[in-house]
């Protein structure tokens, strides 16, 4: 158990370092499968109805298992894009994990992490939600209600 906590902590720190080094941009305010591909400018993810909290989003290939907090920790190594937003905004400017703006297309899994709900890698905090989203030119719009809480 201690090894698992150490591994999850290490992965969380690695993600934080990747985001800090890449200089995540802050966008302007403007579980389930969600219709997407009708977002704004390229490389943006708009989540309508998003409660006011601080969030991170990760875009993961659709073939990765993200059914539990532990599996999400391992799936992060396949992350294609990410962003972090302060409270009150709902448009994420997706940065490619290798740098630059992300312009992927097709179905991807999106992990939405609330940074205000305690330690994200503890399932009982319900800080993570997932949805499958269809992107076009790196852009999509999805309803917050399309996301499913990760409970295990």
Domain ranges of the chain: 2-149
Q: What is the pLDDT of residues 8-36, one digit of tens each?
A: 344 444 444 334 333 333 333 334 334 44
Distances in whole angstroms, Cα of residue 34 to Cα of each of 27, 103, 142: 21, 18, 6
What percentage of the chain exceeds 90 in pLDDT? 39
> pLDDT for 104-133, tens place per residue?
999 999 999 888 766 655 556 578 899 999
Could you tell me the pLDDT band of residue 41, with boundaries at 50, 70 and 90? confident
> How do residues 52-85 score in pLDDT, each as one tens digit?
889 999 999 999 988 888 888 888 889 999 999 8
């Amino acid at each position: 158990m201690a090894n698992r906590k150490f591994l999850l902590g290490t992965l969380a720190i690695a993600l934080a370092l990747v985001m800090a080094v890449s200089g995540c941009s802050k966008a302007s305010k403007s579980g389930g499968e969600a219709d997407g591909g009708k977002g704004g400018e390229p490389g943006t993810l708009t989540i309508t109805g998003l409660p006011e909290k601080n969030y991170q989003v990760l875009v993961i290939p659709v073939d990765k298992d993200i059914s539990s907090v532990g599996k999400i920790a391992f799936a992060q190594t396949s992350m294609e894009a990410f962003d972090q937003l302060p409270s009150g905004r709902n448009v994420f400017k997706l940065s490619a994990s290798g740098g630059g703006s992300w312009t992927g297309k097709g179905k991807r899994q999106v992990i939405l992490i609330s940074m205000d709900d305690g330690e994200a890698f503890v399932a009982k905090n319900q800080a993570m939600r997932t949805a499958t989203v269809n992107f076009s030119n790196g852009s999509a719009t999805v309803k917050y209600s399309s996301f499913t809480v990760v409970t295990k």
